[in-house]
Amino acid sequence: MTFREISTYNINTLRRHYVAEISGSLGDLGTFLPIAIALAVNDTISLSSTLIFSGVYNILTGLFFGIPLPVQPMKAIAAVAIAKSFPAGAITAAGIFVGACILVFSVTGLLRWFTDAIPIPVIKGIQVGAGLSLIIGAGGSVVSSLGWTHPSWADNLIWAIVAFVSLLITNIDRRVPYALIIFVLGLVFALIRSATAGHLPSLGFWHPFVFAPTRGEWAHGIFNAGIGQIPLTTLNSVVAVVHLSADLLPQVSTPSITSVGLSVAAMNLLGCWFGAMPVCHGSGGLAAQYRFGARSGSSVVILGAVKLFIGLFFGESLVELLKRFPTALLGVMVIAAGLELASVGESLNTMGARDIAKASVLGGTTPLTDEERRRRWTVMMVTVGLLVGFRNDGVGFVAGMLCHWIYKAPALVQRLREKFSRVRLE
C-alpha cells in the first residue's frame, strides 16, 4: 500500500468506527503505564521524554504502517533496570545497544532470513507463550498487591472482579468500548485520590537533556540488560508482530520484517539519548489494541498526539497521578491482552496458519494428517511451555526449534540415503 492508500484507510476507518479506534488506542496502556511509572519513580528514565518520543513514534507508525502497531517497553531491559535500580545512563546504553543490533540485523537481511527459517508452530508458540506470560504476570500482580478492601476504596479485588466480569460480558458484543470505559474510570479514581493527597498534575514545559552514559554504564547496561533483550526483541517485537498483523488484519498490507526492524532500531537510537524508555513493537500490544477495537493506524496516531501533548506540558508532574491509577483495572486490561494473544494458537492447524494457506495457494496441498497435526501442536506447546516455565523467549525458541528439527530428522536422513544411493548407481 502507498502512503496515500494507508492515509485513506486510516481516515475512513476512523470516520466509521471512531469510538472503537479511540478505545483500541488505550489497549496497551496496561503494559506501558506500570513499567513507565516504575522506571520514572526510580529516576531511571525521564517520563516527559518517554511520553514525547513514544508519542512521536506512535504517530509515525500509524501514518506509515496503517495498523495499530504498539510502542511498548522493552520488558527484559525494564525488568532488570527496576530490579537493580539502574542509573539513567545504564538503561540508555542498553536501549542504544539493542537498537544498533537490530539495525545491523535489518540492513544485512538477517531478520528476513530469520523469519523464513522459523517454522510457524514455533512462531505461534512464541505468541501464545507471550500471551500466557502477560496473564500470569498480571494475575500475580493483582493477587499479591490487592485485598478485598485494600490498598484503597478505588483499588481492590472487588474492582478487579467487576472489571473482569465486564470484560467477559463485552465479549458478546465487542463494539462496546471496554478499554475506554475502564481507562476513564481508572483516571477518575486516580484524580480523586491525587486531589485528596494534594498531588494533582501541574503545568511544566519539557526541558530536554541528553543522557551520555559513562564507560562503566555502557558495560553495565549492555551486559546486564541489553544482551538479554535481543532475542525477545527479534522474536516477539519483529517476527511475531509481523505474523500477528497478517493474521489479525489481512485486509491491510502487512509491514515487512525489515521495515519493522528499522523502526525498532530508529526509535531507540534516537529517543534513548534523551532519557526516553527503550521501546519496541510487541505482539502483545498489537493483540491488546485489536481486542479493544483498533483496526487502523488512526488509533495509535490519536494516542501519540495525546502522549505528545501531555509530555510537552505536564511531564514529570504526572508521576504521582499515574502511581494512583488502580492496579486492579490495569491488571485486567493486561489479562485481556494476554487472552487475545494466546488465542492465535487456535489457528495452528487450519487455513489460518500462514504456511498452510501459502502451500494451498501454490499447489493445492492435501489436508494435514493426524500425525502432522499432532507434531505441529507438540512443537508449539514445547515452545510455550519452556518460554513460560523459564520466563525467557530465547529458551522457548531454542526448545521449539530442537523439537521441530528432531521431528524432521528421519525424513532428512531418508532423503540423504536416497541421494547417496543414486550417486552410487551412477
pLDDT (tens digit, 9 = 90+) per residue, 23-51?
888 887 877 887 888 788 778 899 899 99
pLDDT tens column, 181-224: 888 898 899 999 888 888 777 777 888 888 889 999 999 899 88
pLDDT of res. 138: 81
Asked if residue 360 belongs to a domain, the reply is: no
Q: Is the pTM of this model over 0.85?
A: no
Q: Tell me: do 93 and 239 sit in the same domain.
A: yes
- State the pLDDT at residue 208: 86
| Structural domain contains residue 355 | no
Distance, in Å, from the CA atom of 131 to the CA atom of 81, rounded to the nearest integer, reads 23
> Is there a single domain that holds both residue 318 and residue 379?
no
Domain count across the chain: 2
Predicted local confidence at residue 343, as pLDDT: 79
Residue 363 lies in a domain: no
For the stretch 352-358, contacts whose Cβ atoms lie closer than 8 Å and that sit 24 or more positions apart, written own/partner, are 352/247, 353/120, 353/124, 354/120, 354/243, 354/246, 354/247, 355/119, 355/120, 356/120
402: cell is 530442537
Domain end position, chosen among 342, 361, 393: 342
CB-based burial label for 347 (10 Å; 0-12, 13-18, 19+) = middle
Give the chain's length: 426
For the chain, report the end-to-end CA distance as a whole number of angstroms. Answer: 52
Structural domain ending residue among the three candidates 323, 342, 361? 342
Q: Residues in the chain with pLDDT < 50?
A: none
pLDDT of residue 161: 93
Residues 377 and 245 in one domain: no
Statement to judge: residues 15 and 102 lie in one domain? yes
Per-residue model confidence (pLDDT) at position 359:
63
408 and 267 in a single domain? The answer is no
My answer on whether 233 and 140 are in the same domain is yes
Is 234 in the same domain as 274? yes
Q: What angle do CA 87, 55, 246 make, to 5 degrees?
A: 110
Q: Which residues span the domain enclosing 406?
A: 370-424
Within 10 angstroms of residue 126's Cβ, the number of other Cβ atoms is: 26
Query: What pLDDT sits at residue 425?
Result: 60
- Residues 256 and 107 occupy one common structural domain: yes
Rg of the chain in Å (alpha carbons): 22
375 with 337, same domain: the answer is no
- Residue 209 confidence (pLDDT): 87
Of 304, 327, 342, which residue is a domain's last? 342
Specify if 351 maps to a domain. Answer: no
Q: Are residues 52 and 154 in the same domain?
A: yes
pLDDT for the residue 352: 62
**Which is nearest to 257 in space by CA: 413, 81, 115?**
115
